[in-house]
Amino acid sequence: MPIPPQVIVAGCVCLDVIPGWPAGAAVADILPGKLIEMGPVSVATGGAVSNTGLALHRLGVPVQLVGKVGDDPFGRMILEAFERQGPGLADGMVVAPGEATSYSVVINPPGVDRSFLHCPGANHTFVADDVPYDRVADPAMRLFHFGYPPIMRRTFANDGEQLERMFARVGEFGVTTSLDMCGFDPASPAGQVDWPRLLARVLPAVDLFLPSLDETLQMFHPGGAETGDMNVIRSLADRLLAMGAAVVGFKLGDQGLYVRTTADANRLAAAGKAFVGVKLDAWLNRELAAPCFEVEVAGTTGAGDCTIAGFLAGLLAGLSPEETATAATAVGACSVEQPDATSGVPHWSAVRKRVESGWRRRAGISHGGMQC
Ligand SMILES: Nc1ncnc2c1ncn2[C@@H]1O[C@H](COP(=O)(O)OP(=O)(O)OP(=O)(O)O)[C@@H](O)[C@H]1O
Ligand SMILES: [Mg+2]
């Protein structure tokens, strides 16, 4: 009998279409009326649903994917790709008739920075009612993770009304809630949002808030005035905890992961089923930094999402915050060893074995406290 899913990963999903550049072709060759002969295309699923969801699946955590696609060829390709990874993985996906599946054409010529031609499609219409609450209600379900509101228009409209409704409803089932963000174009509608006000509304219903530091700075200091020194990191984390989250984790790129947890025992006790089986005292009022593991970097696409997958898997396995943050950066490091998002992620037991076998860490950010 299949193991019932313990985690739902919901939110942004898209199809990356990556034309292959033959040697000698250059982006400057793209001129009106000109034909450029290209190599074969590669196609990959992307977004939080694909990256964090498939990373959890590869780790061996039973997961259900919930994203919204159109009733079109790209939508069918996404559903088929998920089904190929694991039968039933795509059963919770929403197919919206008449809507377009989100896609990015990745213009990736040799020697030049990548550019994207991006269609947000059905991600922009995702609302609280797109979540299959009957699946959230399953007794086996323990955790609900969502990413990325800044590129999902309905989720940030009205100061996050839909997000608040969705997380509150999920929380009613005692399921732990988790949220990831992403960077956004300041000139887009997301740039008009008062993100601190939105987060103050949404975070009381979010147990784990796991953005990257860069995107948090973009939300709180849109002018780019602040850099990520430890005082800024700590005060941002404390502000987010005061808004209502139980655990705040900032991904710090090649500096690793920073974690700060609530000092309020009642808030932690209310953080849902992912915390059943963990020693709650060990998670109370903690601050720690986990440096990156040493790897040969093949590509950082999806590294943040895989880091989250490692964090969620560690928590679900009942680990301490130190072990959980360590597992998070370990899974993140496995991800960067391959150019794509998730194919470098092995089974959970292999990640643990590699950590236990003395895998070297890089020098990480120091906060004068616990380094793990
Ligand atoms: N050079 C590296 N070596 C090992 N691990 C890394 C390296 N770079 C990043 N990581 C891991 O990946 C995570 C990615 O952090 P980052 O701040 O880039 O998140 P992000 O911006 O959300 O990433 P993403 O682009 O995947 O959304 C880090 O926390 C770390 O665990
Ligand atoms: Mg990210």
Question: Using CA atoms, how far apart are residues 277 and 279, in angstroms rounded to an integer?
Answer: 7
- What average pLDDT does the chain have? 94
d(CA 293, CA 126): 36
Report residue 371's pLDDT band, with 50, 70 and 90 as the boundaries: low
Question: Which residue's alpha carbon is nearest to atom 16 within ligand 1?
Answer: 253
Q: Which of 52, 292, 312, 361 to mutate to test the pocket of ligand 1 (most atoms within 8 A of CB)?
A: 292
By alpha-carbon position, which residue is closest to atom 22 of ligand 1? 304
Residue 320 has pLDDT above 90, yes or no: yes
- Beta-bridge mates of residue 288: 259, 370
Ligand 1 pocket by Cβ (under 6 Å): 212, 251-254, 256-257, 292-293, 295, 297, 300, 302-305, 307, 329, 332-333, 336
Rounded CA-CA distance 356/302 in Å is 24
Does 262 or 222 have the greater pLDDT score? Answer: 262
Determine the distance separating the centroid of ligand 1 and the alpha carbon of 302, expressed in angstroms.
8
> Which atom of ligand 1 has the smallest separation from the CA of 307?
31
The ligand 1 atom at the shortest distance from the C-alpha of residue 297 is: 1
186-216 pLDDT, tens digit per residue, is: 999 999 999 999 999 999 999 999 999 999 9
**What pLDDT is attached to residue 113?**
77
CATH topology of domain 10-21+39-125: UDP-N-acetylmuramoyl-L-alanine:D-glutamate ligase (3.40.1190)
Residue 354 has pLDDT above 90, yes or no: yes
Domain residue spans of the chain: 10-21+39-125
Look up the pTM and report it: 0.95
Q: What are phi and psi of 193, to 5 degrees?
A: -80, 140
Pairing state between β 94-96 and 63-70: parallel
190 SS3 class: helix
Ligand in closest contact with the CA of 150: 2
Q: How confident is the model at residue 225 (pLDDT cuts 50, 70, 90)?
A: low
For ligand 1, atom 24, the nearest C-alpha belongs to 304
What integer pLDDT is reported at residue 123 of this predicted model? 98
